[in-house]
Structures are given as C-alpha cells and as structure tokens.
C-alpha cells in the first residue's frame, strides 16, 4: 500500500519510519510545505519520495494528514473534494490531530465523509519537526478513533490495521467526548507547564540559578513547556470551551491551596495533598 503523509514533523515523520520499517507501506510519499523541513525529511530518509499535494492525493492509497489542527481544518474538505473529483473509491484519508470536534464539523455533510477516519494517536514528545521523528514513538500508547460510524467500515479496517502495525491500543469515542477528555488529560498539562516556565523565567532572572538548582522534579513538570507554538496555538483555540472549563477548575484548586497555605492551615494543606495523592491509583 502506498502511504502519503502530509506534514513530516514529529508525528508524520515517526509514522513514516515505522510504517515503512514494518512493511505496512510499500512506499512513503511525503508532502511538506516548509522547504527546510522538506529538505531535512529527505536527508534523514523519512520518505521514499517528496511529492506535491496533488500528486500525493492521486497516487497514495492511504493519506495521513499530519499538520497542525488549524491547517487540517482548512485542508481536509479540499482533500475530500479532490478525491471525489478523481472518482477513486478506495482511498482512505485520516488526520492525527489532538482536537476533533471542529474537524468533524467541517466535513460532516461532505459527500465523501465516508472515506475519512478521524484518529488521534496519543503519543509524542516535547520536540517537533522531522528531526524529532523516531521509531517506536507510538509503541504501547492509545489511539482514539472518533465517530467511526460516519466512516466506511472498510476505511476503518484499513486504519485499525495501520495502528495495529504501530502497536497502539485503539479506543472509540465520539469527537465531542474526545475533546472533553483530552482537555483534562493532555491540554491542561501543557498549559500548566507553559505557565510554570513563564513564572520561573519571569522571576529567576539569573538563569544560572535555575540551571544549578533545577531538580528532576522541576524538569519533569516543566518539560511540556518546550512544546511547539505551531501545534499548540490551534489546539487551544479549537478546544477553547473545554480548555477554559478545565482551566477554571484548575485555578480554583490553586486558590484552595493558596488560601490554605496563606492561613497556615496545615490540616487543610495535608488534606489537599492526600486527595491529590489518589492519582497514584491511576498513573504509574
């Protein structure tokens, strides 16, 4: 099967590596709008061939849209238009974005909605671009498939097989629930890391102190603050209502802590920490 990957960053590039290495793809066709990233992807050998979007839609059997979600919302309807025009009946299109509701909406009534499968492989690092791509990125992680009843059963099977090849566990939910849950278990932790980095950079003018004193705990908590603005600006915009709702809850919890510390209420501080400790039951 020829796999076309549009966007050769961390996710698209890592998929290219493993789909070829594991024999799922006979050929990887890569589309990359940024000339520096395109040259890098070719040099690293992420793809068999660089190609333009038109050529990719024509030649690939499975098309992976791996661009930031803002661009994906603009591109997806046009990709389905083009596939409709060519009359091809067996092409499958997926996206790999972190928010799903607006994508679902922009193609809901498209005549070829059935060729599109909405997916979110929940794996990544805080790095981006073709240089960040790596084998095994998806191994053992969860992949969410959204609104699968709106895709053709055959297209869903192709995609399930692809994620099996990547060694991912598949979970099914609708795109609206997806966006609520990812606001809690992914988007908010990026926002808290960004805010932590801003706080420390603002107050610790002497970077040497941060460097000398930063323990493993701080590094792990602030790690996500290295994440790409190109990826995260549209995610926070597209999932705005859910993210705002979680942020409000988060700010409430911070204020509860703040007030307990301010009043030197050690019983309350202890109670809050003990409650927070329950995350042990869930996270390894």
Q: CB of residue 156 vs its own copies: minimum separation in angstroms?
A: 19
Q: CB of residue 281 vs its own copies: minimum separation in angstroms?
A: 7
**Which residue, 28 or 243, has its beta carbon nearer to its own copies?**
243
Q: CB of residue 88 vs its own copies: minimum separation in angstroms?
A: 34
Q: CB of residue 137 vs its own copies: minimum separation in angstroms?
A: 10
Please give the torsion angle defined by the CA atoms of residues 104, 108, 112 and 116, in that order, rounded to the nearest 10 degrees: 20
**Which residue, 38 or 171, has its beta carbon nearer to its own copies?**
171
Q: CB of residue 97 vs its own copies: minimum separation in angstroms?
A: 14
Place of tokens 């960004």: 194
**Do 62 and 158 form a contact (C-beta atoms < 8 A)?**
yes
What does DSSP say about strands 142-146 and 116-121: parallel, antiparallel, or unpaired?
antiparallel
**Which residue, 48 or 160, has its beta carbon nearer to its own copies?**
160
Q: CB of residue 242 vs its own copies: minimum separation in angstroms?
A: 10
Instruction: Identify the CA nearest to 150 among candidates 93, 96, 81.
Output: 93
Burial (0-12, 13-18, 19+ Cβ within 10 Å), 139? exposed
Going from the C-alpha of 214 to that of each of 162, 200, 209, 269, the distances in angstroms are 41, 11, 8, 24
Spell 22-60 as b/e; 16+ CB within 10 A means b.
eebbeebbbbbeeeebbebbbeeebbbebbebeebbbeb
**Which residue, 106 or 210, has its beta carbon nearer to its own copies?**
210
Q: CB of residue 24 vs its own copies: minimum separation in angstroms?
A: 23
Strand partners, 117: 94
The answer for 7, left when phi > 0, alpha when psi is -120 to 50, beta otherwise, is left
Please give the structure tokens belonging to residue 259.
């007030």
Q: CB of residue 152 vs its own copies: minimum separation in angstroms?
A: 26
Distance, CA of 95 to CA of 48 (rounded, Å)? 21
**Which residue, 153 or 213, has its beta carbon nearer to its own copies?**
213
**Which residue, 161 or 270, has its beta carbon nearer to its own copies?**
270
**Which residue, 88 or 236, has its beta carbon nearer to its own copies?**
236
**Which residue, 2 or 181, has its beta carbon nearer to its own copies?**
181
Distance, CA of 59 to CA of 214 (rounded, Å)? 50
């Amino acid at each position: 099967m020829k796999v076309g990957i549009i966007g050769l960053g961390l996710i698209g590039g890592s998929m290219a590596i493993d789909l070829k290495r594991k024999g799922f793809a006979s050929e990887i066709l890569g589309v990359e709008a940024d000339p520096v990233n395109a040259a890098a992807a070719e040099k690293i050998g992420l793809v068999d061939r660089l190609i333009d979007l038109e050529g990719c839609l024509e030649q690939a059997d499975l098309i992976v849209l791996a661009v930031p979600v803002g661009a994906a919302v603009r591109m997806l309807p046009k990709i389905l238009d083009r596939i409709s025009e060519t009359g091809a009946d067996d092409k499958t299109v997926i996206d790999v974005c972190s928010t799903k509701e607006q994508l679902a909406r922009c193609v809901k009534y498209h005549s070829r909605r059935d060729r599109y499968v909405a997916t979110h492989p929940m794996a990544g690092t805080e790095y981006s671009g073709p240089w960040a791509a790596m084998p095994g990125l998806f191994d053992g992680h969860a992949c969410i498939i959204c609104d699968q009843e709106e895709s053709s059963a055959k297209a869903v099977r192709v995609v399930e097989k692809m994620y099996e090849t990547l060694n991912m566990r598949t979970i099914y939910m609708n795109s609206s629930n997806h966006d609520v849950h990812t606001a809690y278990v992914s988007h908010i932790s990026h926002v808290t890391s960004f805010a932590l980095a801003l706080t420390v950079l603002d107050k610790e003018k002497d970077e040497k102190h941060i460097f000398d004193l930063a323990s493993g705990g701080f590094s792990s908590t602030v790690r996500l603050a290295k994440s790409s603005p190109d990826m995260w600006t549209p995610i926070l915009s597209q999932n705005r209502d859910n993210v705002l709702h979680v942020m409000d809850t988060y700010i409430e919890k911070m204020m509860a802590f703040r007030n307990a510390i301010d009043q030197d209420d050690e019983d309350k501080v202890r109670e809050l920490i003990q409650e927070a400790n329950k995350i042990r039951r869930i996270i390894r």
